[in-house]
Chains A and B, each alone.
Chain A
Amino acid sequence: MGTYFKDLFGGTWSLIVGLAITIKYFFYPVVTVQYPRATLKMPPRFRGHIDLVADPGTGAPKCVVCGMCQRGCPSGCITLSGEKPEGAKKKILTSYQLDFTHCSLCGLCVESCNFGAIDFSKEYNLAGPSREAYVFDLLTRLKERTTNVDNDA
């Protein structure tokens, strides 16, 4: 009988306490970010998909086509090729394809690069209707970026 009344009154009190907490938060400001209208800034270390890094002097990609990133990638989503022009010392990157549909954003490619030639992009609004749109040609993206910077300046 004692537990019955303890349950009854203690239980009712616990329910009232619960209501007090929820009504308190009812009047608190909202904490959500209204996503498409407002976006968050990604922290500097955010691991997006990779992008080529340009040499600040020449504007050409830093990549020396060693292929370490390709070998380091667990998912095999990097395809790159380069050629050695007549008389040049280093190979020149001719294509760098990232199949983002397979990428797991682990960052092993960036780590395996000894030349700092690839970096993470801060892009995260990646959604689209077709699979083909996610095979990125990073060389084209780099060119677009550098021209955009030129235009801005």
Chain B
Amino acid sequence: MKEKKSLNLLAPFESFVDKFKVPLSILVGAFLIAVPFLGASRVAMRNLVMIFLYAMLGMGLNVLLGYVGQVSLGHAGFYAIGAYTSAILTTTYGWSFWTGAIAGACVAALIGFLLGLPTLRLSGTYLTIVTLGFGEIVLMVLRQWESVTNGNYGIRSIPVPELFGWELTLSNGGFYWLILFLSTVTAIACYTIKNSNAGRTLIAIKEDELAATMMGIKTTRYKILAFVVSAFITGLAGAYYSVINNGYIEPNNFVFNYSIQILSVVIVGGMGTIRGMYFGSALLMMFPQVFRFLNQWRFVIYGLLLVLMMQFRPQGALGWQSTLPYKLPRRAKKALAEREKAKTVQ
């Protein structure tokens, strides 16, 4: 009884959103773009920047976790690779941020490919373990390869991005618009992937890998694809991170805890959803700020919340099943229409 009622309320909400999606997104978009002009303080801007950054990181992991169901505990490694590649290219070789960022993302994707090649034929849990080890090894390399990464001294004076001579900073809103742009592009890309042929294949693998194999899907190939896309997004986010950290990065910014934090964003927000990434990120980024008064109890409570969340809402805060009718892909629609036509002709 209760369940039914809830569906009744969710459905109109979703169909409302669906019906007015163009004006709604214009409205929300305009508001988001206008935020820096609305007199938001520097703290608020910083918080928003971190929220969007982690939403983007969440989306990156989501491609792997939410779509293919593979758990990674080493995304801080890709994050680091993106950040360091971009930072080294911009400081030592004088590249611009834009090319450096793309290069960072590509290197992360390449490493993802090389790592995924041998390991993705392993089953889920083993992949988790390998990624965990991968994160630790990346850290080791960052600390040891001093001639390139500058070891524990970190890389400093990473230049801020410039757009036609305009320097992007936190106070002029540049950082905010940049991450807004990056996360929006990522969201659109993720949405496109999810609703593409490849995306449906990925979800098929997640739901039942054996069945997917039986259907003739080359599961390893698709898993690697997802892994590479995930690494690319994370690397891009890393490149962005390297400039917002006051131009200074060091290996400690990419330790295991960050992998867990990225994972938490996806889990808390709702695996497989894009809205959930924004929400999960907002929740987790604001948690330490808002609960500052708890002092040392903060992380005890944080742990408790994770446990309770898993007990009572394991699908994540916004992880509901869509109530909208399933939209057939264009190709399928076309095929159906043709068949209909053929029938009527007969």
Is A bound to B? Answer: no
